[in-house]
Amino acid sequence: MEQDFISLKQLAEEIAMDRSHARRYVLGLGIEPKKRRTTESGGQLTLTVSHEESEFIKQKREEHGFLGSSKPVEKEVGSFYVIQLIPELDDKRIKLGFADDINQRLAQHRTSAPTAKVLKSWPCKRSWEKTVIDALSCIGGKLILNEVFEFSDVERVIDHADKLFSLLGAPSARIEVSPHSPYNNQ
């Protein structure tokens, strides 16, 4: 008997998304995935949607121009930012994070913090975000929630980030493949 559901993992592969992005996308469409034990997951609980829901999701992806196209789902290179959320009340409260488009991200923050301002940003790989946040929070940051911190010395955070990003180099630089690498045989 054919199952009447599909795992979110399998659906994500079919619509060319990573699992966490697919989950957010599905939730954004108003669909609540159900946890089920599947053979594919080795009997572990995994998120699933019905076949009817999966067809709806695929249709929406196609309407947005993603299925059958070579558009990337997410940009790998963007900006790491330091945003002062409420400078007039607390100039030590800082949001650290990654954005594909720094101006768009600032506009999003301004819906709840209208006076927010970008103190500085740097070109950054998406995969560097957590490491950079960890490195910067270690220099006197006190976590408030998510990626929002209180810092006693905001200029020190920015100086530290300047040094860190100078060491990391250009995020768009390609790694040269060795002639001895198995990647040359692909």
Number of domains present in the structure of the chain: 2
Reply yes or no on whether the pLDDT at 70 is more than 60. Answer: no
pLDDT-derived band at 175 (thresholds 50, 70, 90) equals: confident
Is a pLDDT exceeding 90 seen at residue 43?
no
Contact 126, 97 (CB under 8 A): no
Domain annotation covers residue 146: yes
pLDDT at 40: 80
When pLDDT is cut at 50, 70 and 90, the band that residue 119 belongs to is very high
37 plus 82 within the same structural domain: no
Token pair of 125 as six digits: 């790989």
pLDDT tens digits, 125-149? 999 999 999 999 999 899 999 899 9
Torsion, CA 41, CA 47, CA 53, CA 57, rounded to 10: -90
Predicted pLDDT of residue 1: 40
Answer yes or no: do 160 and 93 share one domain. Answer: yes
Residue partners of 87: CB distance under 8 A and separation at least 6: 115, 116, 117
Q: What is the pLDDT of residues 91-106, one digit of tens each?
A: 999 999 999 899 989 9
Examine the domain organization and report whether 96 and 127 are in the same domain: yes
Domain of residue 146 covers 77-168
Do 139 and 111 fall within a single domain? Answer: yes
Give yes or no: residues 57 and 119 share one domain. Answer: no
Residues 76, 81, 66: CA angle, nearest 5 degrees: 30
- pLDDT of residue 2 exceeding 70: no
In a domain, 175, yes or no: no
Mean pLDDT of 148-172: 95
What would the mean pLDDT of 109-135 be, rounded to a whole number?
94
